[in-house]
Amino acid sequence: MSYRRLLAWVATTHPEIVLLCDHSQAPRLPRTHTPLRLRTCVRQLPDYMVPELLLAGATSLALACPERTEVLEALPLAAVPTGLVMLTAAEVPVDQAPLPRRALLGATAHAPIDTGAAADVRLATALRALGVAYDRPTTATALHSQGCTACSVCVLACPNDALSLAGEGSTELIHDRTSCDSCQRCVRLCPSSALGSAGAVSLRTLANQPQVVLETVETARCTRCHQRFRPAEGEELCRTCAFRREHPFGAARPH
């Protein structure tokens, strides 16, 4: 069973879930609760999974395992039910949660979760929606820029397409923090030393500002190569084309 289908099951049935680790003993639970058996320990789950189960529509969620992570400690988790139980709930493997017929026919609300987003983005989004104040650094870098020439070196250097130039005339250098992995290639390769780093972006900042404009540059199109550049007054050629016009036989003087 795919994770998306698990989310669809939660969104359709709104269960009271008790997560059982692969090593935990199943407690006697009333039929009002669903013991959901994991294939690993809850500590090994992606940080976003338990918050997303709550966001998808779980009425409550408890852990039948003493292990915790910082994220789990911050969540509004329920206590495992205790007391005399006459009719016990049947254990459900996490990859076999049954979908009701109305869900199979498509008559169900979809959980507001983008399963294709980066892990930190998913966690940040779920925590914000749940009103949980937990915060920590992410894999994204908080970039700043001063003196950008719109040369596109950083855009081409980024392996994750986290940087882009948009607009004509007033060109914006945009940083998509959701795609940034802090490789710092853009900072190292910037020929103008315009880019710098101010440390990691926090989860809360990532949720509130997934994209930022680092700098707005007044640009023109080179009349020779048609690339965007930042011109001085009266300039029509970019630096490369201007150099080639001044040195038509190459960069080095002939001996």
Tens digits of per-residue pLDDT, 139-175?
999 999 999 988 889 999 999 999 999 988 889 999 9
Mode of pairing for the β-strands spanning 16-20 and 33-37: parallel
201 in a structural domain: yes
51/144 Cα distance (integer angstroms): 31
Place of tokens 């940087």: 163
Q: What is the pLDDT of residue 2?
A: 81
47 in a structural domain: yes
247 in a structural domain: no
Same domain, yes or no: 106 and 19: yes
Q: Can you give the residue range of the structural domain that contains 162?
A: 137-218
Q: Give the predicted TM-score (pTM) of the model.
A: 0.77
Residue 108: pLDDT band by 50, 70, 90 thresholds? very low
Strand partners, 195: 145
Query: Of 79, 113, 147, which closes a domain?
Result: 113
Mode of pairing for the β-strands spanning 60-63 and 170-176: unpaired
Q: How far is CA 70 from the centre of its chain?
A: 18
246 in a structural domain: no
Structure tokens at 55: 């966001």
Q: How many domains are contained in the chain?
A: 2
> What kind and span of H or E run contains 163?
strand 163-166
Round the CA-based radius of gyration of the chain to a whole number and report it.
Answer: 26
Q: What is the CATH number of the domain that holds 166?
A: 3.30.70.3270
73 in a structural domain: yes
130/17 Cα distance (integer angstroms): 17
In the chain, the largest separation of any two C-alpha atoms, in whole Å, equals 99
